[in-house]
Structure formats: C-alpha cells, structure tokens
Amino acid sequence: MHRISNAVRLLLLLIALGAFPAGAAPLQAQWEFRLLPGDAQGAAHPGLQQWRAATVPGSVHTDLLAHELIRDPYVGAPEAELQWIGLADWEYRARFDVDAASLAKAHAELRFDGLDTYAEVTLNGKPLLRADNAHRTWHARVEDRLRAKGNELQIVFRSPIRTLLPGVQAMPHRIAGNYPSPYGDEPKDAMVGNFARKPAYHFGWDWGPRYVTAGVWRGVDLQAWDAHRLTDLAVRTDALDAENAKLAVVLQVEQDAVAGPVAVDVEVRDPDGRSVARVQRTVELKPGRNSVDVPVELAKPRRWWPVGHGAQDRYTVQARLDGSADPVLAREQRIGLRTVELRREQDDKGGQGFAFVINGAPIFAKGANVIPFDAFPARVDAARLRQVLVAARDANMNMLRNWGGGYYEDDAFFDIADELGLLVWQDFMFGGGMQPGYDPAFRASVVAEARDNVRRLRHHPSIVLWCGNNEEETAWKDWGHGRDLKSADPAFAAKVWQGYVDLFGNDLRQVVSEDGLGVPYWSSSPSNDLDEKANDSTRGDKHYWQVWGNPALPVQAYLRETPRFMSEYGLQAWPAVATVDQIATRAEQRIDSPVIRAHQKFMAGEGNTRLLHYIELGYGTPKDFEDFVYLSQVMQADGIALAALHHRASRPYTMGSLYWQLNDVWPGASWSSVDYFGRWKALHYAARRFFAPVAVAALRDEGSTRVRLINDGAALDARWRLRVMDVEGKVLRRREQAVTLAAAGVTDIGTYADAELLAGADPARTVAVFELLQDGKVTARQVVGFVEAKDQVLPRQQLTSTLAIDGDHYRLRLHSAALVRAAWIDFGALDVQVEDNLLDLLPGETRDIAVRGPVDLAALREALKVKTLNDR
C-alpha cells in the first residue's frame, strides 16, 4: 500500500522537477496538526487535540494513518467509521525561519498551491487570508510580517459539510447533487459537494470511497524580490508549418511603484540543446503588472506530434531580466510546437463531425478516461504517474481524457504525457450534478481557478482540449434534473440554467480564449457545445451507457451505436486476486461478503449483480470467486474490444474511442484496465491489440460478420486470410488474397453470413479466423465464434506450458493441441511483467511469451497458473 512516505517523495520530486514557480522555494518548516480544540468530534475522539507531526503536502487522513490513529482506509471495510473526519475542523501549523537575504528584499509573498478547502490562515498571530477553493492558488504578501526566527503559520480547516449544509438546507428547492452519502454524515436530500470547490470524488463515486479530506494538499513556498520579478512565461504560436515557426514569447513582469527600464533576454534551444534563436531588448516597465511580447522565428521547426504520428520534439525557452540568474528574474519553459484544431464539419445528412487535427493531420483518438490516482492526491508520485501513462502508450493509446470530478493534475502528469506523445482532453473540475453558476461569487472563484490552472498548464503540447464539465448538460436535459426543478420552481430553474450557460458557455470559454494559447474549448461532455441535444450520436461527443448501465443491453448493442466521437463507454471487472488479497482475506473473497461489497461502489454495492449478469450472458456461472474475477476480466476485454473496433472501423464518421476508464483510485471493482497497484487487467492487453496501428475488425452481429481492415499509417500492401476451422483444427474453408490498406483509413473486405461461413458445420464447434499478413507473418488476427463462449464446445486440457531462461528474461512457451480461448497467464503476487496475455491459440499453435522480473525460475514455476475457457 502507498503510505504517507509518498508525500515526502512527492515534495522532493517537485523540487527536483522545478515544479515550484520561478524564484520560489518550498517553505522549510516543521508541520503539525490536531483536531481543533472545542470541536464537537473531540468527545468521541479524545486526545486528538494534542499537536502531532504532519506531512505537507498531505491530508488529515494520511496524517492520522501515519500515527496509527485510524485503520488503513483501503483495507477491509472501514469507510463508515471514518466519516467523522470530514465532519471535524482541523488545525495545522508550521514553524519556520527566514534567511537574512530574503528578509532584506523589498517584497515577499507566501504562495499556497493547494488548501483543502475552507481555510483560515494566520501568520504570527495575524489573519493572512481565507480560502474556499481547493483548486486555486492562493497568494499573500508577507514582507511586513516575517521575522528571522520562529515564524508561525497556522491554518484552520473547516468541515466543508458543516460549512455548507445550513445554506443548502435553507434552499426552498435544491439543485441536483451527485452521490448521496450512505453513512449519515450528510442528509441524502441536501448534498453539499457541488457547492464546494474541492475534488468532487472526495464525496464518493461509483468507483471509489467517500473520504471528505482536509489539509495542505499541495506545496507552500516563499518568494522574495526587490524592484521587479518575472511571474510567467508563455509561448504563443502565431504561425507554424514544416518550414517556419513564428512565435511570441510572452513575459509577465511585476514592477513595484517606480517605473523603469529592464533588459530582457530570451533564448530558444532546440530538442538537442542547441541555441537556435536569441533576442535581447530593453523595455520600459510601468508600476504593477506588465506584459512583454518578444517575437521569435525558427526555420525548419521540429514539430511535436502525438505518438504514432511523428516525434515528440520539445524546445526549451529561457528568459532573463537584467541578465540575472536570480530565480525571481529568470524562467525556463519546455514547450512543444504544434497546432491543434477541433474540426466540426457539417455532413450532408445534417450531422456534424468531431475530430482532433494536429499539425493539419486528422487524428483518430484511441485511449481512455483518467480518474484520480488516489483518494489522497499527495500520495501520488511521478513514478506512479509514469507507470500508468507508459502503460497507456504501450497499449497503443494516443489520447487520455482527464475527467472532471477530480483535481487538476500536477505538471509531472503533463510532462510525461508530452514526452510520450499522449494527447490530453482536459476537463475543468466539475464532475456532475448541477453547479450554482447563478451565484456571482461562485462564478468568480471558478474563473480564478480556471485562470490559475490554464496558465500553469498551457505550455504542455499534450493538452488539446479544455472541456467545461462532465455530464452536467446531459444530466439537466436527459436525466430529469432540469425537468424536476422546472416542475417545482420554474423561475429558479430558469435562473439555474442561465447560471450554467454563463459559467460554461461564456466564462470558461473566455478564460481559454484569452489564456489557452489557441487550444479549443468545449462546454461539456457529452454535448454539442450547448446545442439543443446534449448526448447525440450524430453531433458532438457521446457517452454511451445503455450497455452496463440501464437498461443493461447485451454488448452486441455497441455495434448499433455509431457516434462521431465516443468519449465514454465501459464494462466493469474485478482486479487480479493478488490485488484483492491486499484488501480482503481469502475467507472474505465472496461476491456477497461485506468487504467485497464495500469495494464494489456501483449501485451502492449491488454492482456485482450487474457484473454477474454480463458474465452469465456470455460465459456461464462462475464456480468460485477466483473464477468470477477471471470471467469478469474476459467479459470486459471482449466487450470493450467489440466497441472499440466498431468505432475504429467507422472512421472517418467516428474519430475517437475513449473507454471508461484507464486507472483506479483504490483497490476494488471498477471499469479500469490498469488496477490501483499498476497491474494490467485482461482489458489492457486486449487494448494493445484493438488499438494497434493495424488491426482486423471482424464484427459479428445478428448472424453476419462484417470484416474491415484498419490502418492508422501510410498505405500498406498486405494479404488477408480467412480460415473456417473446427475446434480440433480441421480447416473447412480457406481464402487468401492481396490487399492494399487505405492510408489513415478503413478497407472494407465484405460481410459474411453465418450460413455462408459454416456451410452446415456445427456452430458450437466451429470458428472463423480472420488474419492480416505482412511479409508472410500474421500481424493482426480476430477469432469469431458463432455461439456465445459458454456454448462453445472447447476440448479440455489442451494447453501445455514450459518456463525456461532465455537470455536476460524468462520464456514461457504455450502450446495448444486444439483451439484454446482466453488463456490468462497468472503469477500471483510476484513482481513480474508478462509480454502478452489473454490469448486465443489455434490448434497446433505455439506462442513464446517473455516474462521479466526479479524472481528466480523456481518461484516462477511454482506460482504459474494458466486459466482458459476450455477448462471451466
């Protein structure tokens, strides 16, 4: 489990990455925390009013855990007993000294990058600021407050529930919230989460726990300066093609009360570190904030491309004032040169496209949605981010959607995405329900939050869209939120909707237009940007939940839904038993046990019933919990593969497929393909195949199979092959011919009726194998059955496996005498990486799988299990 020490590692990492603003240094302080004296929770939790060591960045939950004052919030089912934490007021304090050089400066400022959420800050006994937004950066001038020794910073965090509840309860009619608490800490009819500017998932979601946190969740730093300081550097692209780049380096300079000249020096270094442009000039600064534009031109620029479409070249831009290396007068930014367009062309049927165009090239977006990596964000370090983002790249993804119910990720996330070539669709942090956009103070706070984060992140070439919110427009229009409020109070409903339009249609759009360096804005997901219909397959982006969600249609329904851009769809699965072992004993590993239900958040713990429904539709009834886990993963992988291949095969009408979801916030059942500990589910291995640059989409529905060949790159000469065979390997029909795959497109091979393929053969004992061959080697394959997997007659005990040392890794050799379906290789809790998994093997086929990890051969052999559908 990730413990509080991760917060320390995160702080050190941020320092190493230069993630703090120019000229600022993390506050070197000794932090402590306690339950605020006099708080109502004190009687039930005596002794917590005494000061204890705290870790910053962090949260009260992780500090309590570090002192063993609470159980691990992820192990067993402790959630109900920990809800009192979110009802309490907490106090943090820091003691620190200030060096003589900083004290001698004319100006000083404390900067708080994350206060969660309702915070009253005092310095040396005097009020400094009041915060009410966990997503904002808070600044306070302190030049007249600091002393050399013994400064004391105190922060009182008020319970967001207790702070907001009286106002919500006083409303004659309430706007819709998200997930009501099952624990009694908050009335189910008076949810406060959508009134609080803190991560919405802290109040619980259908994939994670309810832990209403408080604390200093990001860094605190101190900056001191004299006449002026350089506060920001941005690079605007005015023109860009393969021959030339016209840029403007935009500097924000803060000048004190006396105007004066300043020497500005801007240098650009290419991806190899060579200086390719330098501009020096003197500008006159006026008192206050100054914006300085420095034009720069580059010949033959090396553009940044998404993975699979070119290199991820990045330039370094450096700026100095007065020729000084003083951190308050110098700044450096790494950028990528690229253009981005959200192309929305009208078609001849009244629809409208939705395609991302990078450097003039339309990109089919392949990827997944990202949720927070932990309930307690300070525990997430760059190594963990890298592990999951590399997994996304390795599964042939090129886009991730940062979902709006969490928090704006650290720069480390985007640095890694830039490096890997992963496009990022970035939501503003609104996860669902409805927001009080009719409140001017709320809107002003959101605008400040948006500017903070757009300016912080805008230099990252990976960010290609800013989206206002997740599912708020469709909830109002399609889920009954608007209908119910209009029925109860038409005037208030009109005011709420106008507030929505003001916030998401105007305010955030303006922020992105002014500060986003040309990145497009989209008001909600799903939507057609405030068009009449919110979740439309012919226009805008689509969330499709009629499979898995209500009415729980079979997975074949994916083939009958063809959107312009599918930004959400998904199926659940449990993580590996090795992960479940971290949260539940083997005796507790039953579908209906309290611990397992506690880690299944869909339908308030009843989600296993829905999961079992889908398993039984296609694969039969699991014989035990381990079989339930295995079949859940096979079902998830098969179902999402069906949908993703359909989306890709529908190009260019459809130009994106982002499944829900990539990662987990804690160990439990969810829609993820990579679990909390970084283990790949079967879906992630399948994604590497169905998102491959070249793929076969053989999609069977209602008695016929349509075959299309998918190619992301340049036109390609190959051969395609069809074999109809029985499960023992007898080939009943064969066809092979040359084909030229269309560039960045789809080649339609044809549609085959079951009767044509089977020609009287037993459908339960026969499959069709569609393959693509390049230079005589199979590079893509799809095996199509004619009955559900549970009805296939598969010979038992047909697979043999051997493990051996092969150079710097191990080789697992699998051989099948007959058709083997869904072979899953499992080494339990051993720390190993398996090259490929979830395999169909044809009769007589041998596959060699590389296995890597710091484990000896004997341990590998002892741990190895291979499950298949044949042996159920």
Predicted confidence (pLDDT) per residue in 176-193, tens digit = 999 999 999 999 999 999
Does residue 15 register a pLDDT over 60? no
What pLDDT digit, counting tens, does each position of 337-365 carry? 999 999 999 998 889 999 999 999 999 99
In angstroms, rounded to a whole number, what is the distance separating the alpha carbons of residues 223 and 322?
A: 18
In angstroms, rounded to a whole number, what is the distance separating the alpha carbons of residues 363 and 225?
A: 46
Strand order in the sheet with 138-141: 25-26, 220-225, 107-112, 138-141
Does residue 739 register a pLDDT over 70? yes
More reliable by pLDDT, 4 or 813: 813
User: DSSP secondary-structure letter at 384?
Assistant: H
Torsion angle of alpha carbons 559, 561, 563, 567, nearest 10°? -80
Q: Which domain-ending residue is among 300, 335, 370? A: 335
Distance of CA 655 to the CA centre of its chain: 20
In the predicted model, what is the mean pLDDT of residues 381-408? 98
Check whether residue 141 and residue 189 sit in a common domain. Answer: yes
Q: How many residues does the chain have?
A: 872
Residue whose structure tokens are 């946190």? 213
In angstroms, rounded to a whole number, what is the distance separating the alpha carbons of residues 364 and 356?
A: 7
**How many distinct structural domains can be found in the chain?**
5
Handedness of CA 635, 637, 641, 643 (dihedral sign): positive
Tokens of 72: 């691990």
How do strand 731-741 and strand 716-726 relate by DSSP bridges?
A: antiparallel
In angstroms, rounded to a whole number, what is the distance separating the alpha carbons of residues 744 and 726?
A: 35
For 687, the enclosing helix (H) or strand (E) is helix 682-690
Residues pairing with 562 in the sheet: none
What pLDDT digit, counting tens, does each position of 301-315 carry? 999 999 999 999 999
Classified as helix, coil or strand, 560 is helix
Does residue 838 register a pLDDT over 70? yes
Question: 122: pLDDT confidence band, cut at 50, 70 and 90?
Answer: very high
Does residue 538 register a pLDDT over 50? yes
Does residue 366 register a pLDDT over 60? yes
| Other beta carbons within 10 Å of 29 | 17
In angstroms, rounded to a whole number, what is the distance separating the alpha carbons of residues 796 and 392?
A: 35
User: DSSP secondary-structure letter at 692?
Assistant: S
Check whether residue 718 and residue 850 sit in a common domain. Answer: no
DSSP string for residues in 253-271: EEE-SS-EEEEEEEEEE-T
Check whether residue 112 and residue 204 sit in a common domain. Answer: yes
What pLDDT digit, counting tens, does each position of 488-512 carry? 999 999 999 999 999 999 999 999 9
In angstroms, rounded to a whole number, what is the distance separating the alpha carbons of residues 288 and 644?
A: 53
The CATH number that applies at residue 144 is: 2.60.120.260
pLDDT for 10 equals 35
- Report yes or no: 621 and 606 within 8 Å, Cβ to Cβ: no
Please report, for residues 166, 396, 737, the alpha-carbon distance to residue 440 in angstroms, rounded to integers and kept in the order given: 19, 44, 66
Check whether residue 186 and residue 284 sit in a common domain. Answer: no
| Other beta carbons within 10 Å of 326 | 15
- Report yes or no: 253 and 228 within 8 Å, Cβ to Cβ: yes
Please report, for residues 10, 324, 416, 839, the alpha-carbon distance to residue 385 in angstroms, rounded to integers and kept in the order given: 11, 35, 8, 28
pLDDT for 324 equals 86
Burial class (CB in 10 A: 0-12, 13-18, 19+), 556: middle
Strand order in the sheet with 865-867: 839-841, 820-826, 865-867
Quick one: how many helices (H) and strands (E) in the chain? 19, 46
Burial class (CB in 10 A: 0-12, 13-18, 19+), 247: buried
Check whether residue 347 and residue 292 sit in a common domain. Answer: no
Beta-carbon contacts of 828 under 8 Å, excluding residues fewer than 6 positions away, are 577, 578, 863, 865
User: DSSP secondary-structure letter at 703?
Assistant: T
For 279, the enclosing helix (H) or strand (E) is strand 275-285
Check whether residue 497 and residue 482 sit in a common domain. Answer: yes
Residue whose structure tokens are 């009244």? 350
Does residue 51 register a pLDDT over 90? yes
Q: Which domain-ending residue is among 741, 765, 791? A: 791
- Report yes or no: 7 and 62 within 8 Å, Cβ to Cβ: yes
Question: 14: pLDDT confidence band, cut at 50, 70 and 90?
Answer: very low
Torsion angle of alpha carbons 39, 45, 48, 49, nearest 10°? 30
Beta-carbon contacts of 699 under 8 Å, excluding residues fewer than 6 positions away, are 559, 642, 645, 646, 649, 705, 706, 707, 708
Share of the chain above pLDDT 90, in %: 95
Q: How big is the CA angle at 418 (ends 112 and 59), to the nearest 5 degrees?
A: 30
In angstroms, rounded to a whole number, what is the distance separating the alpha carbons of residues 710 and 708?
A: 6
* Peptide bond between residue 622 and the one before it cis (omega within 30 degrees of 0): no
In angstroms, rounded to a whole number, what is the distance separating the alpha carbons of residues 160 and 193?
A: 8
Does residue 576 register a pLDDT over 90? yes
- What is the C-alpha radius of gyration for the chain, rounded to an integer number of angstroms? 28
What pLDDT digit, counting tens, does each position of 62-119 carry? 999 999 999 999 999 999 999 999 999 999 999 999 999 999 999 999 999 999 999 9
In angstroms, rounded to a whole number, what is the distance separating the alpha carbons of residues 400 and 373?
A: 14
In the predicted model, what is the mean pLDDT of residues 722-747? 97
pLDDT for 8 equals 34
In angstroms, rounded to a whole number, what is the distance separating the alpha carbons of residues 601 and 392?
A: 24
In the predicted model, what is the mean pLDDT of residues 152-159? 98
Check whether residue 574 and residue 658 sit in a common domain. Answer: yes
DSSP string for residues in 739-768: EEEPTTEEEEEEEEEHHHHHTT--GGGEEE
pLDDT for 605 equals 76
Please report, for residues 344, 441, 539, 647, 747, the alpha-carbon distance to residue 347 in angstroms, rounded to integers and kept in the order given: 9, 42, 10, 18, 21
Check whether residue 664 and residue 813 sit in a common domain. Answer: no
Share of the chain above pLDDT 70, in %: 97
Q: Which domain-ending residue is among 303, 335, 367? A: 335
Classified as helix, coil or strand, 282 is strand
Check whether residue 752 and residue 605 sit in a common domain. Answer: no
pLDDT for 24 equals 64
pLDDT for 25 equals 80
Q: How big is the CA angle at 308 (ends 302 and 313), to the nearest 5 degrees?
A: 25
Torsion angle of alpha carbons 217, 218, 222, 226, nearest 10°? -130
What pLDDT digit, counting tens, does each position of 633-687 carry? 999 999 999 999 999 999 999 999 999 999 999 999 999 999 999 999 999 999 9
pLDDT for 326 equals 87
Does residue 7 register a pLDDT over 50? no
End-to-end CA distance of the chain: 33
In angstroms, rounded to a whole number, what is the distance separating the alpha carbons of residues 581 and 87?
A: 31
Beta-carbon contacts of 863 under 8 Å, excluding residues fewer than 6 positions away, are 827, 828, 830
In angstroms, rounded to a whole number, what is the distance separating the alpha carbons of residues 88 and 38?
A: 10
What pLDDT digit, counting tens, does each position of 759-771 carry? 999 999 999 999 9
Rounded to the nearest integer, the mean pLDDT of the chain is 95
Residues pairing with 115 in the sheet: 216
The CATH number that applies at residue 752 is: 2.60.40.10
Check whether residue 460 and residue 556 sit in a common domain. Answer: yes
Question: 4: pLDDT confidence band, cut at 50, 70 and 90?
Answer: very low
Tokens of 602: 């869909």
Check whether residue 563 and residue 591 sit in a common domain. Answer: yes
Beta-carbon contacts of 548 under 8 Å, excluding residues fewer than 6 positions away, are 570, 571, 572, 610, 614, 671
- Residue 419 has phi, psi (to 5 degrees) of -65, -40
Does residue 571 register a pLDDT over 50? yes
- Residue 24 has phi, psi (to 5 degrees) of -100, 150
Does residue 629 register a pLDDT over 90? yes
Largest CA distance in the chain: 92
Query: Does the model's pTM come out above 0.75?
Result: yes
The domain in which residue 413 lies consists of 340-690
- Residue 502 has phi, psi (to 5 degrees) of -60, -45
Check whether residue 307 and residue 394 sit in a common domain. Answer: no
Selection from 575, 553, 666 nearest residue 628 by Cα: 575
Does residue 16 register a pLDDT over 70? no
- Report yes or no: 772 and 709 within 8 Å, Cβ to Cβ: yes
What pLDDT digit, counting tens, does each position of 440-484 carry? 999 999 999 999 999 999 999 999 999 999 999 999 999 999 999
User: Helices (DSSP H) in 541-606: which residue ranges?
Assistant: 577-580, 594-598
Residue whose structure tokens are 């090129």? 398
